[in-house]
């Protein structure tokens, strides 16, 4: 009788697991991100480098998947006309503040939004603009509803 050495299945299992992970990584669809134009806007003495989200695809993507945001970087959302606007934080990795802005460029209300939530944060009236900045940015700059935002498209 020939005595066989026990065969360990651990190396085979690890190899199979590694192959499966590689196949999933290769077959998973890549996250398609949209490029955004940049516009400088300002609120009082605060100069903002704002990426502009003006198409439905750009507005849907927003600041999703970003791991950081510069101290005066943000995103302005342009809508075709004043409308009911709500924002959420699906796949958004960093907490943000959002200011809803009316057709005259005045801030209507400001909301704080937690990262990776589906909570709705809505304008208190119909607006054509929303400006997202890092969490607490508006509070740190002592900016409140009624403050004028300059440099928005189509606003005198």
Chain segment 32-73, per-residue pLDDT in tens: 577 899 999 999 999 999 999 999 999 999 999 999 999 999
Residue 151 dihedral angles phi and psi, to the nearest 5°:
95, 5
Tell if the pTM clears 0.85, that is, is over it.
no
Beta strands (DSSP E) in 58-106 are: 73-83, 86-87, 96-101
Rounded Cα gap, residues 26 and 150, in angstroms: 46
Confidence of residue 100 (pLDDT cuts 50, 70, 90): very high
Rounded Cα gap, residues 39 and 34, in angstroms: 16
Contacts of 81 (CB under 8 A, 6+ apart): 128
Instruction: Residues 38-140: name the CATH superfamily.
Output: Protein of unknown function DUF192 (2.60.120.1140)
Burial of 138: CB neighbours in 10 Å, binned 0-12, 13-18, 19+: buried
Question: Which letter, b or e, does each residue of 10-24 get, where b requires 16 or more Cβ atoms within 10 Å of its Cβ?
Answer: eeeeeeeeeeeeeee
pLDDT at residue 155, as a whole number:
87
Q: Domain-by-domain residue ranges, the chain?
A: 38-140
Residue 119 has pLDDT above 70, yes or no: yes
pLDDT at residue 153, as a whole number:
87
pLDDT at residue 154, as a whole number:
84
pLDDT at residue 32, as a whole number:
59
């Amino acid at each position: 009788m020939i005595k066989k050495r026990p065969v360990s299945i651990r190396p085979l299992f690890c190899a199979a697991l590694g192959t499966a992970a590689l196949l999933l990584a290769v077959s998973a669809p890549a996250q398609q991100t949209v490029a955004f134009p940049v516009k400088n806007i300002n609120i009082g003495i605060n100069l903002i480098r704002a990426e502009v989200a003006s198409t439905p695809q750009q507005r849907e993507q927003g600041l999703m998947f970003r791991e950081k945001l510069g101290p005066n970087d943000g995103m302005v959302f342009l809508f075709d006309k004043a409308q009911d606007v709500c924002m959420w934080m699906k796949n958004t990795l960093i907490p943000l503040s959002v200011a809803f802005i009316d057709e005259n460029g005045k801030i209507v209300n400001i909301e704080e939004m937690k990262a990776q939530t589906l909570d709705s944060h809505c304008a208190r009236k119909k607006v054509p603009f929303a400006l997202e900045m890092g969490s607490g940015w508006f509070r740190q700059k002592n900016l409140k509803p009624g403050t004028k935002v300059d440099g928005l498209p189509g606003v005198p």
